[in-house]
Structure 1
């Protein structure tokens, strides 16, 4: 993650969504709906989210259920 990404509010929000999504205990249907609304609100949101999700997976932070 670059300094520019850290200073970008879209990137920051995308990163927060990725973190929340992998917290299975707190990411419920309401959170999914809220995230989906954010993703479709602006094409930049989806692009940032996809990059954040790839970074998350590349870092090896995969929940055990997904690894099975």
Structure 2
């Protein structure tokens, strides 16, 4: 496992990024819950921003030729 996978803040941030992109189930209540989590600790925002960048970069990577 990587250090990030062992980090509960990173895990929560990654889950928030994934949930946020699930448009059908990410409603106003979920957004309020995520916002509360983000403002609870500066480390939460830092981890979330990193996870969001990773999500964006992964979306920009073209699929491999074998797919």
TM-score after normalising by structure 2: 0.87
Structure 1 runs of 4+ off > 3 angstroms?
A: none
In the alignment of these two chains, the number of paired residues is 60
User: Post-superposition shift, 1:42?
Assistant: 0.1
- Give the CA RMSD over aligned residues: 1.3
- Structure 2 segments unaligned to the other structure (5+ residues): 61-67
Cα shift readout 1:33-60 (whole Å, capped 9, x = no counterpart): 0000000000000000000000000001
Q: Which has the larger radius of gyration?
A: 2
Using the alignment, how far apart are the partners of 1:28 and 1:7 within structure 2? Answer: 28
